[in-house]
Amino acid sequence: MLGKVLKYDLKWMAKYLIPLYIIILAGSFVIRALDLLQNQFDFIAVFYGIMSVIFVMTLIVGFVYMAFMNIKRYLDNLFKDEGYLTHTLPVKKGTLLLSKLLTVTITFISTIVVFMLSIFIAYYVPVLLDAFHNLIDYISTNNLGMFFIAILLVLILEYFFYMFLIFASISIGYSKNGNKNINSLIYAIILYVLVQIVNFIFLFIFFLLNVGNYEEIGEQIELINTFMFSMAGLELIYVGILYYISYRWMNKKLNLQ
């Protein structure tokens, strides 16, 4: 049943994301064309600059839009009018939630791939490839590879953290009677504050235990790497806890009234 539920979730998301992808890819081709034309016509440079600003803003708004549509799907499909039908299906609550997790993951990956492809189409020149190679060599020479991997992990997990912070808050807020949106917002704030308190305590203890122990630059880099991977581990724990909260409240305290 997971495959069928995931299929419907992805089809719903595709209705909204495919037009976004088409717009972004079309914009990248326009920028590439303007880039070629501005070498022949000076006034094209103005349009190239304007289009580049619009393109970058579209990428930012597009990513937010993708996240928003995942949240809307979660809310409408499980807790609003559509939820009456969804929860009568012979599907376990865990399967419904897992489908939402996979949908969030797949749409995140597809959006990043489309964005990277569009940026490549719009702005690629051979000198950028050389600069990328030089950056890789610099990272390798200075043993910064693990640092950048840790940062990437933290950023990715941070996205999933905020998605499931909202999912968990909706699950709790919609288990109450009346003012469900306000309740969801209140619980989102509470959960966020609790997480930040834990982060502060972890940060304080970590540096209290390690301050003054690393004097060489290599040791300092190792300390930073340890901290970043520790933060990535914390983010993963948060996601797991929020996922469980979402499942627990939807499975035991579902309230569609």
Could you tell me if 104 and 166 are in contact, meaning their C-beta atoms sit under 8 angstroms apart?
A: no
Residue 124 has pLDDT above 70, yes or no: yes
Q: Distance (Å, rounded) from C-alpha 79 to C-alpha 255?
A: 8
53 pLDDT band, cuts 50/70/90, is very high
Residue 22 has pLDDT above 90, yes or no: yes
Predicted pLDDT of residue 203? 86
> Residue 2: its pLDDT value, please?
80
Q: Is 81 left (phi over 0), alpha (psi -120 to 50) or beta?
A: alpha
Q: How distant, in Å, are the alpha carbons of 34, 204, 234 from that of 227?
A: 44, 12, 10
Helix (H, G, I), strand (E, B) or coil at 240: helix
Q: What is the mean pLDDT of residues 91-109?
A: 91
pLDDT tens, residue by residue, 129-161: 767 677 677 666 666 677 788 888 889 999 999
Question: What's the confidence (pLDDT) of residue 18?
Answer: 95
Q: Which residue has the higher pLDDT, 79 or 107?
A: 107
* pLDDT recorded at residue 21: 95
Higher pLDDT, 174 or 251: 174
Measured between alpha carbons, how far is residue 235 from residues 132, 232, 239 in Å?
29, 5, 6
Number of other residues whose CB lies within 10 A of the CB of residue 165: 21
Q: Which range has highest mean pLDDT (28-37, 45-54, 67-76, 170-179)?
A: 67-76
The pTM of this model reads: 0.87
CA-nearest of 88, 130, 32 to 24 is 32
Tell me the per-residue pLDDT of 197-235, one tens digit each, with 9 for 90 and over: 999 998 888 878 776 665 555 566 777 778 888 888 999
Residue with tokens 């040791």: 219
CB-facing half-sphere around the CA of 190: CA atoms within 13 A: 12
Report the C-alpha gap between 91 and 108 in whole angstroms: 25
Of 92-106, 186-200, 213-227, 233-247, where does mean pLDDT reach its minimum?
213-227
- 171, 245 in Cβ contact below 8 A? yes
Average pLDDT for the chain: 85
Q: How far is CA 30 from CA 6, 50, 100, 115, in A?
A: 35, 12, 35, 15
Mean pLDDT of 76-94: 80
